[in-house]
């Protein structure tokens, strides 16, 4: 590499066990006196406990965050924030909740503190994907990135094994696409490789024993690295397809990433052999097949058909995915998309294309 640009890592990051206790101090650090706590409906009770812990510096909670960040939900949350006089946002949860915090923050300028409880990775990025009228659009802006991110290993100990696996594979997708990104750099490549190595070691340990705190720490550390590279590099075909299937077919985010990753990585591998060396060192020279074997051994979902996406949906998905040009190491057309997705629909091991 003759030259590169490294944009730096502007978010303040606190990583450890028991770090949830630092939220009040960090809210104060951001100048917040009236924080609004965000969560999904599934984490209403967790959000309520955080509201109680924050005491006088919190004005309430909004627990209707939804997958793929629907604009209608954001508008409802905005009204709640205005009514309560919120001056700061605290998102507690996975990608859906962090996405809502980012959507509110970029519209209002309110500082945003993220407390991720999965490995999805949205928290370290300047990327916001929003859904309106059945289509998901994505944009980047420095103002989207949370000001502070608190990682607490203890919050992941109760994460169900199936969610752990799909969320970790979602994280792995960030690292693999960062390795061959057109705007990559040596720092990001090293972080991506280290993130994949941490996931490669940690995921099997957590699958074998979900209460393995050291394994959980390894996976969360890997997820942080993968989240960071997601925020630094331009994503390619894999992420585009996941946004298409999520936004236009309402497929669940993490499961879709987990199923597609072996197929998209296998498709791009022949055009990026040198760049993906850190990944092939872990999963084998047949990157797509190795990732599929890893996912299967971990109990990950393998078939899009199990999520409700069938072969009859392939033409529409391919058409949407090829409407606009975007960076990817290997050229493709609608026919390639159909060929790539067909084994993913049926849950079969990816073949060379």
CA nearest to 257, candidates 300, 287, 227, 224? 300
Q: What is the mean pLDDT of the chain?
A: 95
| Beta strand residue intervals within 77-142, DSSP E | 88-93, 112-116, 127-132, 135-140
Q: Tell me the whole-structure pTM to 2 decimals.
A: 0.92
Q: State the Cα–Cα distance between residues 289 and 279, nearest whole angstrom.
A: 12
Q: Residue 220 — pLDDT band, cuts 50, 70, 90? A: very high
CA nearest to 173, candidates 115, 116, 128, 240? 240
Choice between 108 and 351, residue whose per-residue pLDDT is larger: 108
154 within 8 A of 20, measured Cβ to Cβ: yes
pLDDT digits (tens, 9 = 90+) for 42-58: 999 999 999 999 999 99
Whether domain 161-346 has CATH 1.10.10.10: no
Whether domain 12-156 has CATH 3.40.50.300: no
pLDDT score recorded for residue 247: 85
Bridge pairing between strands 112-116 and 88-93 = parallel
pLDDT score recorded for residue 133: 84
What is the mean predicted confidence (pLDDT) over 60-71?
95
CA nearest to 138, candidates 125, 151, 148? 125
The phi and psi torsions of 145 (rounded to 5 degrees) equal: -70, 130
What is the mean predicted confidence (pLDDT) over 196-204?
98
Query: Alpha-carbon dihedral of residues 210, 216, 219, 225, nearest 10 degrees?
Result: 160
pLDDT score recorded for residue 137: 86
CA atoms within 13 A on the CB side of 46: 20
190 within 8 A of 290, measured Cβ to Cβ: no
The phi and psi torsions of 237 (rounded to 5 degrees) equal: -60, -40
The phi and psi torsions of 263 (rounded to 5 degrees) equal: -80, -40
CA nearest to 119, candidates 73, 175, 57? 175
* Residue 85: burial class (beta carbons within 10 Å; 0-12, 13-18, 19+): exposed
Query: Alpha-carbon dihedral of residues 36, 37, 40, 41, nearest 10 degrees?
Result: -90
pLDDT score recorded for residue 136: 81
User: Which residue intervals of 85-212 are DSSP H helices?
Assistant: 95-108, 161-179, 186-208
The domain ranges of the chain are 12-156, 161-346
Measured at the CA of 97, the angle between CA 127 and CA 240, to 5 degrees, comes to 35
pLDDT digits (tens, 9 = 90+) for 110-160: 999 999 999 988 999 999 999 998 778 889 899 999 999 999 999 999 999
101 within 8 A of 114, measured Cβ to Cβ: yes
pLDDT digits (tens, 9 = 90+) for 285-331: 999 999 999 999 999 999 999 999 999 999 999 999 999 888 999 99
CA dihedral sign of residues 242, 116, 14, 169? negative
Sheet-wide strand order for 35-38: 12-16, 148-152, 112-116, 88-93, 35-38, 58-62
Q: State the Cα–Cα distance between residues 141 and 165, nearest whole angstrom.
A: 30
Coil, helix or strand at residue 224:
helix
Q: Residue 1 — pLDDT band, cuts 50, 70, 90? A: low
92 within 8 A of 38, measured Cβ to Cβ: yes
């Amino acid at each position: 590499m003759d030259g590169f640009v490294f944009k730096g890592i502007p978010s303040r990051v606190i990583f450890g066990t028991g770090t949830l206790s630092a939220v009040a101090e960090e809210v104060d650090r951001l100048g917040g006196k009236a924080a609004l706590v965000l969560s999904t409906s599934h984490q209403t009770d967790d959000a309520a406990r955080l509201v109680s812990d924050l005491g006088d510096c919190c004005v309430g909670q909004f627990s209707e965050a939804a997958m793929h960040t629907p604009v209608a939900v954001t508008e409802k949350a905005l009204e709640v924030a205005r009514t309560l006089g919120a001056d700061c946002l605290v998102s507690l949860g996975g990608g859906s909740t962090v996405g809502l915090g980012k959507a509110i923050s970029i519209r209002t300028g309110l500082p945003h503190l993220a407390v991720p409880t999965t490995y999805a990775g949205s928290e370290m990025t300047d990327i916001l994907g929003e859904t309106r009228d059945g289509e998901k659009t994505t944009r980047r802006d420095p103002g989207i990135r949370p000001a502070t991110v608190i990682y607490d290993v203890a919050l992941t100990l109760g994460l169900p094994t199936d969610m752990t696996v799909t969320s970790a594979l979602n994280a792995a997708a960030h690292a693999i696409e960062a390795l061959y990104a057109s705007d990559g750099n040596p720092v990001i490549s090293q972080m991506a490789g280290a993130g994949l190595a941490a996931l490669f070691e940690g995921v099997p340990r957590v699958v074998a024993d979900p209460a393995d705190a050291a394994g959980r720490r390894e996976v969360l550390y890997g997820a942080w690295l993968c989240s960071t590279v997601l925020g630094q590099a331009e994503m390619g075909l894999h992420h585009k397809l996941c946004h298409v299937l999520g936004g236009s077919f309402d497929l669940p985010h993490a499961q879709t990433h987990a199923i597609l990753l072996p197929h998209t990585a296998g498709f791009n591998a022949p055009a990026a052999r040198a760049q993906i060396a850190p990944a092939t060192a872990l999963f084998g020279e047949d990157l797509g097949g190795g990732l599929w074997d890893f996912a299967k051994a971990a109990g990950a979902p393998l078939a899009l058909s199990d999520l409700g996406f069938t072969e009859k949906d392939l033409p529409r998905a391919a058409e949407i995915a090829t409407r606009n040009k975007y960076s990817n190491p290997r050229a493709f057309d609608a026919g390639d998309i159909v060929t790539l997705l067909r084994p993913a629909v049926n849950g079969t091991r990816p073949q060379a294309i």
